[in-house]
A and B are shown apart, each in its own frame.
Chain A
Amino acid sequence: MADTPDLLPHEQPAPPRTDLWIAAVFFVFGAAAAWLAFLMPTYADQKGQIYTAPGLVPGFYGIVILLLSIWLAVRAVRQGALRPRGEATTAGQPAGTSDLRLALAAGLGLVFVVGLIGRVPFWLAAAMFVAMFTILFEWRAGEPWAPRARRIGEAVLLGLVTGAAVTLVFEKVFYVRLP
């Protein structure tokens, strides 16, 4: 075993080409933040001091982000970000991960927040979201109808229990308003 423990997932370095793209995004972001801060009023006409000008601090942060992005870009290039494809992109997707599952989870979350909340009572929105989430993620192609029906029944029950429990506990016990 090495002297230093294994790196955590967030400590594994990203490929240089990815870092170059990140640097480009933050360069644009930092420049935009600094430019918008520069356009902010200084209130000098109201005898305001320059040190309290609204754009001073966010403008400073924008410039720092811009400079750090240049540092990141230079480092990425020195590490081979501009070499032909294949050499600079070494990190692959970890085994067992699925972008389809990710997109489905994100999409369902968006439907819940944008499509359901505010249109139906919260308990019903929560029940529909939980049931739909569970049904879709537990869906197995070619599964016989009996176990599938049982799974769907369990998912609907879980949704209803969640909707009811969240509503009762938070509204009646914690006195929290629900969306």
Chain B
Amino acid sequence: MFDSLGQLGGAFLGFMTPHTLFNVIWATFLGIVIGALPGLTATMGVALLTTLTFTMPHNEAIMVLICIYVGAIYGGSRSAILLNIPGTPASAASTLDGYPLARQGLAGRAMGISTSGSWLGTLFGILCLALLTPVLSELALTFQSFEFFWISVFGVVVAGTLAGGDPLKGYIAGFLGLWIATIGQEPYYNYQRYAFGYTDLAGGIGLLPALVGAYGVAEVLQAMRGPVVKAVSSKLDSVVPRIEDVLKYWRTIFRSGAIGVWIGILPGLGEDAAAWSSYAAARRASKEKEKFGKGSIEGLMAAETGEAASVPGAIIPVLTLALPGSAPAAVLMAAMMIHGLNPGPNLMVESPQFFYQIIAMLVIADMSKLLFGFVLIRPLIKVLLVPRERLMPVVFVLCVVGSFAITSRVFDIYVMLVFGLIGFVMRELKFNMAPLILGLVLGDLLEKNLTRGLVLSDGSLLPFFTRPVCAVLSAMTILSVLWSIPAVNRSVRAAFTRRRP
């Protein structure tokens, strides 16, 4: 206990240098700006900054990325409140009550609620991360290839089922991501799969250029195709959060925090699902249901707390199972790998201090976010008014630099372009991108564990189903697929409805 506190204190002290604090300030601000600007998302921000900070020491680079992540998820509420356009998909639920509050001349109060909800949500999530990660890591250390295979499959399937939209298309996107991850040299014979004689393809598809394309270029194209958005003219009252708002809705804050962390832990779902689920739960439990959608403080608080709590929640499976809880967390995990860290159960064994550093990073980023909740509101509103015709080409230039930066291959810029096109087309065809990204990230893990498991069992599939954790995970995966079949879903619901008195 005291040893843990000592290590945590050491982690905090280690970051208290002017250089690190300077990085925290600019990264959080940049994250808030990225989140606030419609068309730029947290995933894109983290992906771009991963490539641009990879020459930094790993502690500083991960700190910058966490600040971007935390800041961007918070920043999305700015445009949700002022423009009725969610800056990031995570802030979509905040538009329902944030914008009506702004229309009533309470934009400042709405931003204060957003700040307090988001700050408390992240703190709650950090507490859960600190408590759950060591326990889950301990459990995960007992896992073998069979379990890790099912964890990967479960991740892709659950992301397809629950990430929103059509589950069937989610599965297709997930398996497409897994297939893309097989392009290039395979691990046993160095055979070049699907390379067609091209040396660059034999090196495989870089995860980060693909992510920058799918989230950066695709968003530039979508923003340029879409209609122009205009800010609402609203009187800006005090943005300082009110204590009475927090005290009055403490139950909502705890409930939304718990939902946010849980959804964060589930693979691939992310902050938008957390915000919607928290909002829906708050509405069901509220005594002021009629205010929801018309400027409910409780509704806005629930959405903001839920989405913010899911950020640390999404990092929990990264640290314990190498399984990202959201798309930005997938990029963060890739960044950890690039920096030579080994996310997963061995992290707590090989570099336990990094776990405490992550807690310290999240707390510092959360505090920095709180600071920006009070100041720089007006300059931020001015940033929101930058026309997309001037912003998007700059973003595109950054995408090009970002995809080239890690391996200095022009081929990676082409990968970015192709994935930008794939991302744009798939979104237009109503595919969710989260399963595709999760498939790309988990492809290597899944293949290695499947083949290793088959070699260990001499080709027998039994251990994949009979080991206790495998049995649970395989059953959950199959149930998840069955649940997404409308006929099965309807029958189960009807059966439960009939049994009710």
Contact = CB atoms under 8 A, between A and B. Distances in A.
B414 A113 contact: yes
A97 B401 contact: no
Contacts of A65: 172, 175-176, 179
B451 A52 contact: yes
Interface string A116-136: 011000000010011001100
Given A8-B89, A134-B389, A176-B55, A51 B455 contact: yes
Contacts of A41: 189, 191
B169 A58 contact: no
B429 A14 contact: yes
Contacts of A51: 451, 454-455, 459
Interface string B249-290: 000000000000000000000001000100110000000000
A64 B394 contact: no
B413 interface: yes
A63 to B, nearest CB: 10
Interface string A59-91: 001101100110110010000000000000000
A124 B169 CA distance: 42
B400 A117 contact: yes
A55 B183 CA distance: 11
Contacts of A179: 400-401, 404, 410, 413
B454 to A, nearest CB: 4
B53 interface: yes
Interface string B92-128: 1100100000000000000000000000000000000
* Residue among A118, A130, A179 with most chain B CB within 10 A: A179
Given A58-B193, A65-B175, A133-B389, A101 B224 contact: yes
Q: Is chain B's binding surface mostly helix, strand, loop or mixed?
A: helix
Given A10-B165, A130-B394, A99 B225 contact: yes
A137 B390 CA distance: 9
Contact of A54 (B189, B276, B397): B189
A97 B404 CA distance: 31
Contacts of B450: 57
B220 interface: yes
Given A8-B164, A58-B194, A176-B55, A137 B224 contact: yes
A2 to B, nearest CB: 10
Given A14-B429, A69-B172, A96-B227, A138 B410 contact: no
Q: Is chain A's binding surface mostly helix, strand, loop or mixed?
A: helix
A170 B401 contact: yes
A101 B387 CA distance: 15
A146 interface: no
B169 A11 contact: no
A3 B272 CA distance: 17
Contacts of A72: 168-169, 172
B389 A58 contact: no
B71 to A, nearest CB: 18
Interface residues of A, number: 75
Contacts of A75: 168
B329 to A, nearest CB: 19
B400 A61 contact: no
B94 to A, nearest CB: 11
Contacts of A94: 226-227
A179 B450 CA distance: 38
Given A54-B189, A56-B451, A133-B389, A5 B397 contact: no
B393 interface: yes
Nearest to B403: A179
Contacts of B280: 3-5
Nearest to A161: B394
Contact of A133 (B176, B393, B414, B431): B393
Interface string B378-411: 0000000001011011101110110011001010
Nearest to B54: A176
A12 B193 CA distance: 36
Given A13-B430, A109-B420, A170-B52, 20 more contacts: A1-B292, A5-B276, A33-B194, A49-B459, A51-B454, A54-B191, A56-B451, A57-B447, A61-B182, A68-B171, A68-B175, A72-B168, A101-B225, A104-B224, A109-B417, A112-B400, A113-B413, A117-B413, A134-B393, A158-B394
Interface of B: 51-56, 89, 92-93, 96, 164-166, 168-169, 171-172, 175-176, 178-179, 182, 186, 188-189, 191, 193-194, 217, 220-221, 224-228, 272, 276, 279-280, 292-293, 387, 389-390, 392-394, 396-398, 400-401, 404-405, 408, 410, 413-414, 417, 420-421, 427, 429-432, 446-447, 450-451, 454-455, 459
Interface of A: 1, 3-5, 8-14, 18, 22, 26, 33, 36-37, 40-41, 43, 48-52, 54-58, 61-62, 64-65, 68-69, 71-72, 75, 94-99, 101-102, 104-106, 108-110, 112-113, 117-118, 126, 129-130, 133-134, 137-138, 155, 158, 162, 166, 170, 174-179
20 contacts: A8-B92, A8-B165, A14-B429, A40-B191, A54-B188, A54-B191, A57-B182, A71-B168, A72-B172, A94-B226, A97-B227, A112-B400, A113-B413, A117-B413, A133-B392, A155-B390, A170-B405, A174-B52, A177-B404, A179-B410
